[in-house]
Amino acid sequence: MDPSRLVALIMAGGGGTRFWPRSRRARPKQFLRFSGEDSLLRATIRRLEGLVPPERTLLITGADQVSLAREHSGLPASSIIGEPEKRDTAACIGLGALLAAKIRPDAVLVVLASDHLIDPAEGFRASITRAAELAVEHGAIVTLGLRPDRPATGFGYIEFGKRLDETKPAGFQVAAFHEKPDAETAGIFLRAGTFLWNSGIFVFTVPVILDAIKTHMPELHAGLMSIRDPRNPEDVRRVYPGLVKKSIDYGILEHAKNQIVVEAAFQWDDVGTFEALGRYLKPDKNGNLARGGAIALDARNNLVDNDAKGTVVLSGVSDLLVVRTDDVVLVVPRKHAEKIKDIVDQLHREGRADVL
């Protein structure tokens, strides 16, 4: 496969509620740094170096974040597209397919999230290359899957069937997509050895994804076809808000035939919560995890994310999550770390948009 057919589509539309107060309406997660030097978004772009150049990289983000994304990503202005409103991933990928076809009619679309931790980058590029070859060779929708190392309940799973050949990274036929399981089911998936985590990274040609949309989401397909020029923001703005709001997982992947999963040759996390961040931190002797300045005295199993100058001092407390930014300190039981969105919703209801 000619590598110059690759067009990257980075979806960066996250609202940033799960990482509040680190992430804010005006500064969602993808613009933040986690473990590395780069923000998640910049790391995503950098990871493509040598595989997909900036002029074949598309970044779709919220219309109100376009200028931030331009400044932050270093991508050419023409690469950054503002979604008039959020219509979930199926519509976003549909629009991306139309845009990719304008770059190259024979484009192979590489759909990426902007907020994943991935390492090493060479493994990522090798996996994408392999997925693109299979996508073209089989006319398939190809998803990257990760070998699970724990019964995670925060990810979807892909049950795989027959291995396609002996080439590495390994490609398998997809047997079924499974939504985020409960803990018991996750344990079954893990022990079975025939399930991979759904990374949310997809590779397919433009005709393959548009055909799949036409078959499984005909309304969305009709809407997309009514966009005269996807590069014209006016045209997009006229159609986009009326498109069906559904994820590609529910709308397409759970139904489509001819799907392949490539077992990714890299470590991956989607850093969806502060707890996920905690997995990248080394505990002290009392199980406290901290990013940034923190001192724990007679304190156990706390998680601190200190993004400001200075120090968080914990004494005599346990199992707390403390997040500090320049202007907000959040203190919650660590078991609520998965429900930060509820706190954000509550602050919204109480008219405290000033802190969101």
**Interface ranges with a copy of itself (CB under 8 A):** 21, 295, 297, 306, 309-317, 320, 322, 324, 326-333, 336, 343, 346-347, 350, 352, 354-355
- The SS3 of residue 154 is coil
Smallest distance from a copy of itself to CB 340, Å: 9
Least separation in angstroms between residue 37's CB and a copy of itself is: 24
Q: How far is the CB of 273 from a copy of itself (least distance, A)?
A: 15
- On whether the CB atoms of residues 92 and 129 are closer than 8 A, the answer is no
* The two structure tokens encoding residue 166: 């002996």
Residue whose CB is less far from a copy of itself, 70 or 339: 339
The distance of closest approach from Cβ of residue 32 to a copy of itself in the complex, given in angstroms and rounded to an integer, is 18
Q: How many CA atoms lie within 13 A of 191 on its CB side?
A: 6
Shortest spacing between CB 326 and a copy of itself, in angstroms: 7
Phi-psi region of 267 (alpha: psi -120 to 50; beta: other; left: phi over 0): beta
Nearest residue (CB) to a copy of itself, 83 versus 305: 305
Which lies closer to a copy of itself via its Cβ, residue 56 or residue 334?
A: 334
Least Å distance, CB 305 to a copy of itself, is 12
For a copy of itself, which is the closer residue by CB, 220 or 330?
330
Cβ proximity to a copy of itself: between 55 and 345 the closer is: 345
Nearer to a copy of itself, 56 or 324 (CB): 324
Assign 32 to helix, strand or coil.
Answer: coil
Find out whether 94 and 24 touch, Cβ atoms under 8 Å.
Answer: no
Convert 272-302 into a string of H (helix), E (strand) and C (coil). CCHHHHHCCCCCCCCCCEEECCEEEECCECC
The CB-of-271 to a copy of itself minimum distance in angstroms stands at 21
Prior bond of 207 cis (ω within 30°)? no
Q: Which residues contact 339 (CB under 8 A, 6 or more apart)?
A: none
Nearest approach in angstroms of CB 324 to a copy of itself is 6
Q: How far is CA 114 from CA 54, 117, 176, in A?
A: 15, 9, 26
Q: What whole-number distance in Å separates Cα of residue 119 and Cα of residue 105? A: 31
Q: How far apart are CA 314 and CA 300, in angstroms?
A: 9
**CA 56 to CA 137: how far, in whole Å?**
21
Q: 157-191 burial string, b = 16+ CB within 10 Å, else e?
A: bbbbeeebeeeebbbbebeebbeebeeebbeebbe
CB closer to a copy of itself, 19 vs 195:
19
Nearer to a copy of itself, 166 or 315 (CB): 315
